[in-house]
């Protein structure tokens, strides 16, 4: 949907975008997944982080990359710290995201979908905006197909609070309407994407904000720059530069 300068090179991750993250985390000593952080509290000049499943751990530095509305939902002394500075609280509240649903259709065997494209935007549909035949997009035509849909922003916003099972049923009916010749999938997954693209970033697009200097707590991500992967990268580079700078001066 965008126009790119001549010579722009586009990339696809054959193993999915998560493979890029896993590559950069290869040399980390300790990486933990599936921990839903609920509380961050200052304790003995460190941050005590608590998760939904009861796990607790202390850290010298905390970097939050979650969407701004989820930062505001955290409990613990971090909540009071944010409220102490109206510019931070109001800035976080001003960050706005679009909302969508994603629908995945998965097949256990190699099946010909019969479309001439790998990825396309759908401009004249009230529900779907984007569709990708993912195995073809990843240049793996011999793999069983997986098809991904993204809904329009309007549909996402109007249906975000509905039961996800009901939404999935509606989306599958619409797939049959738009692509009636497609085979029935072996497995379906509908994903609620409450915080999709950044519509309104943090005022001034700073890249990151310092919630507290000592101990250091930073909030960053595309919500502080702009939507798309490059917005995330810009934020990450600014945070890394800042932390390396304060390390160099003994901060």
> In this structure, which topology does domain 18-96+199-248 adopt according to CATH?
FAD/NAD(P)-binding domain (3.50.50)
Tell me, what DSSP letter sits at residue 150? E
Cβ 63 vs Cβ 218: under 8 Å = yes
Q: What is the pTM of this model?
A: 0.85
CA 58 from centroid of its chain's CA atoms? 25
Residues 16-38: pLDDT tens digits? 888 988 898 888 888 888 899 99
- Per-residue tens of pLDDT for the chain, all 251 residues: 668 899 998 888 899 888 988 898 888 888 888 899 999 999 999 999 999 999 999 999 999 999 999 999 999 999 999 999 999 999 999 999 999 999 999 999 998 898 999 999 999 999 999 999 999 999 988 899 999 999 999 999 999 999 999 999 999 999 999 999 999 999 999 999 999 999 999 999 999 999 999 999 999 999 999 988 889 999 999 999 999 988 766 55
CATH of the domain spanning 100-193: 3.90.660.10
Candidates 76, 68, 66, 63; CA nearest to 93 is: 68
Radius of gyration of the chain (CA): 21
pLDDT of residue 26: 87
- List the domain boundaries for the chain: 18-96+199-248, 100-193
Residues 89-107: pLDDT tens digits? 999 999 999 999 999 999 9
């Amino acid at each position: 949907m965008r126009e790119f300068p001549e010579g722009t090179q586009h990339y696809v991750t054959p193993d999915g975008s998560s493979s890029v993250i896993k590559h950069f985390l290869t040399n980390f000593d300790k990486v933990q997944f599936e921990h839903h952080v609920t509380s961050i509290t200052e304790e003995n000049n460190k941050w005590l982080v608590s998760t939904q499943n009861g796990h607790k751990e202390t850290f010298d530095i905390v970097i939050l990359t979650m969407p701004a509305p989820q930062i505001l939902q955290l409990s613990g002394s971090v909540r009071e710290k944010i409220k102490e500075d109206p510019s931070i609280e109001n800035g976080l509240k001003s960050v706005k995201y679009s909302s969508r649903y994603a629908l995945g259709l998965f097949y256990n065997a190699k099946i010909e979908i019969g479309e001439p494209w790998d990825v396309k935007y759908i401009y004249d549909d009230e529900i779907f905006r984007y569709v990708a035949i993912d195995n073809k997009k990843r240049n793996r035509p011999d793999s069983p197909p997986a098809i991904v849909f993204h809904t329009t922003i309007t549909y996402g916003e109007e249906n975000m609070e509905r039961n996800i099972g009901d939404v999935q049923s509606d989306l599958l009916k619409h797939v049959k309407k738009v692509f009636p010749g497609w085979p029935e999938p072996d497995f379906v997954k509908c994903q609620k994407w409450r915080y999709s693209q950044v519509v309104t970033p943090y005022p001034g697009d700073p890249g990151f904000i310092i919630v507290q200097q000592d101990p250091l707590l930073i909030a960053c991500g595309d919500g502080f720059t702009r939507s798309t992967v490059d917005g995330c990268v810009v934020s990450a580079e600014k945070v890394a530069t800042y932390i390396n700078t304060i390390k160099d001066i003994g901060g």
